[in-house]
């Protein structure tokens, strides 16, 4: 009888250990999926580009009056003085380092007989219908970009009602007085435009509504308005810079462009905040992750019930 009882206990203990191993294996797979999911989210929060900082260091030259009388003005003087305990190696200057910009390559587009671009200009997921007119007011441009009044473009992206279905968004730059007004409106919600004095905030409002509709944070809400509007696209940037009135924009720094007929611009199809296809992939991944988490919770509850039942039997 003792041997039978011992064998019975070993069988139950072995079954309990097998269940625990199975649960741990499933938990490991879920953690791997969660790690990949978090890594994907981390990539979304990384900045688009890194800015290089240029610092000019100037050696400090201290004039010794006794030696300066016998030297020319253009000659550098080296001072040896025991009264000076500390000599700073570098000195800050008020002059800003010269701005260095990388030359951008653009592809030539069709022009009419007057040399003006033929609209609409189709560039991947977005289409430009009007370049607008350049305004010389300070808030209508930055060092990098110009916001022409009347600029209009359209882009295919996820709908606010159902982000998995595509719709057409119209992006406009309007005259707001001292500062421009940026507007994004979906063809499915023409009566509910998204308007802001900040182009990034306008884009961020759209992304927040997408997440709210899905009930979870599928896309990073950090605004990239210039990219969504198409203003930062090299071809559009080049055309706007060539527009009349740009030289009056005092705060704008000119960008060098090189026209190459054979150049093909590759759009970023991995950013869910800009690309409709990337948004669909992010939604699909988020759903699969949520389903795996629910399944994991159910398995944990099932495993705990089995262990409890075995403990009761063994006792």
Query: Domain holding 161: CATH number?
Result: 3.30.160.360
Same domain, 133 and 245: yes
What gap in Å lies between CA 276 and CA 94, rounded to an integer?
46
How sure is the predictor about 263, in pLDDT bands with cuts at 50, 70 and 90?
confident
pLDDT score at 17: 87
Cβ distance 140 to 147 under 8 Å? yes
Domain membership of residue 60 (yes or no) is no
Same domain, 135 and 32: no
The pLDDT of 102-121, averaged and rounded, is 88
Domain total in the chain: 2
Percent of the chain with pLDDT strictly greater than 90: 48
Cβ distance 304 to 24 under 8 Å? no
pLDDT score at 93: 43
For tokens 């421009």, what's the residue?
180
Domain membership of residue 63 (yes or no) is no
pLDDT score at 67: 45
Same domain, 148 and 7: no
Domain membership of residue 83 (yes or no) is no
Same domain, 136 and 183: yes
pLDDT score at 238: 95
Partners of 58 in beta bridges: 91
Predicted confidence (pLDDT) per residue in 193-234, tens digit: 999 999 999 999 999 999 999 999 999 999 999 999 999 999
**Which one, of 221, 255, 207, lies nearest residue 106 by Cα?**
255
Domain membership of residue 61 (yes or no) is no
pLDDT score at 2: 81
User: DSSP code of 144?
Assistant: S
Cβ distance 12 to 313 under 8 Å? yes
The pLDDT of 292-296, averaged and rounded, is 62
Determine whether 222 is exposed, middle or buried from the number of CB atoms within 10 Å of its CB (0-12, 13-18, 19+).
middle
Cβ distance 262 to 167 under 8 Å? no
Same domain, 158 and 305: no
Predicted confidence (pLDDT) per residue in 130-189, tens digit: 999 999 999 999 999 999 999 999 999 999 999 999 999 999 999 999 999 999 999 999
Q: Residue 80 pLDDT more than 60? A: no
How sure is the predictor about 290, in pLDDT bands with cuts at 50, 70 and 90?
low
Same domain, 264 and 306: no
Whether pTM exceeds 0.75: no
231: how many CB neighbours lie within 10 A of its CB? 24
Domain membership of residue 66 (yes or no) is no
The pLDDT of 234-256, averaged and rounded, is 94
Domain membership of residue 306 (yes or no) is yes
Same domain, 304 and 231: no
- The most confident of the ranges 34-43, 93-102, 114-123 is 114-123
How sure is the predictor about 9, in pLDDT bands with cuts at 50, 70 and 90?
confident
Helix, strand, or coil (residue 246): helix
294 compared with 272, residue with greater pLDDT: 272
Domain with 12, as residue range(s), is: 2-46+285-314
For tokens 């069988």, what's the residue?
11
How sure is the predictor about 34, in pLDDT bands with cuts at 50, 70 and 90?
confident
The pLDDT of 112-137, averaged and rounded, is 94
Lowest pLDDT segment from 29-38, 112-121, 187-196: 29-38
Same domain, 238 and 295: no
Same domain, 195 and 263: yes
Domain membership of residue 65 (yes or no) is no
How sure is the predictor about 85, in pLDDT bands with cuts at 50, 70 and 90?
very low
Same domain, 126 and 16: no
What gap in Å lies between CA 14 and CA 112, rounded to an integer?
82
Mean pLDDT taken over the chain: 79
How sure is the predictor about 298, in pLDDT bands with cuts at 50, 70 and 90?
low
Cβ distance 184 to 194 under 8 Å? yes
Same domain, 225 and 290: no
Same domain, 204 and 252: yes
């Amino acid at each position: 009888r003792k041997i039978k009882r011992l064998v019975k206990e070993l069988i139950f203990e072995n079954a309990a250990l097998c269940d625990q191993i199975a649960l741990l294996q499933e938990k490991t797979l879920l953690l791997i999926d969660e790690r990949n999911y978090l890594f994907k989210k981390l990539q979304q929060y990384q900045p688009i580009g890194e800015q290089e900082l240029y610092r000019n260091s100037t050696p400090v030259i201290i004039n010794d009056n006794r030696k300066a009388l016998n030297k020319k003005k253009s000659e550098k003087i080296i001072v040896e003085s025991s009264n000076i305990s500390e000599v700073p190696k570098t000195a800050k200057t008020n002059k800003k380092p010269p701005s260095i910009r990388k030359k951008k390559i653009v592809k030539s587009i069709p022009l009419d007989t007057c040399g003006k671009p033929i609209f609409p200009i189709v560039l991947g997921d977005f289409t430009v219908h009007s370049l607008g007119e350049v305004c010389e007011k300070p808030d209508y441009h930055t060092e990098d970009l110009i916001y022409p009044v009347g600029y209009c473009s359209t882009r295919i992206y996820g709908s606010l009602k159902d982000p998995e279905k595509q719709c057409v968004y119209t992006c406009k730059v309007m005259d707001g007085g001292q500062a421009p007004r940026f507007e994004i409106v979906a063809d499915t919600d023409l009566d509910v435009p998204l308007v802001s004095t900040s182009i990034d905030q306008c884009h961020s409002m759209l992304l927040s509504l997408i997440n709210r509709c899905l009930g979870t944070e599928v896309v990073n809400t950090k605004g990239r308005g210039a990219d969504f509007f198409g203003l930062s696209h090299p071809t559009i940037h080049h055309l706007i810079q060539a527009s009349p009135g740009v030289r009056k924009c005092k705060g704008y720094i000119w960008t060098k462009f090189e026209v190459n007929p054979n150049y093909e611009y590759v759009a970023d199809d991995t950013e869910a905040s800009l690309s409709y296809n990337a948004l669909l992939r992010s939604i699909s991944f988020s759903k699969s992750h949520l389903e795996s988490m629910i399944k994991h919770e159910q398995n944990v509850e099932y495993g705990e019930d089995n262990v409890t039942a075995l403990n009761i039997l063994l006792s």
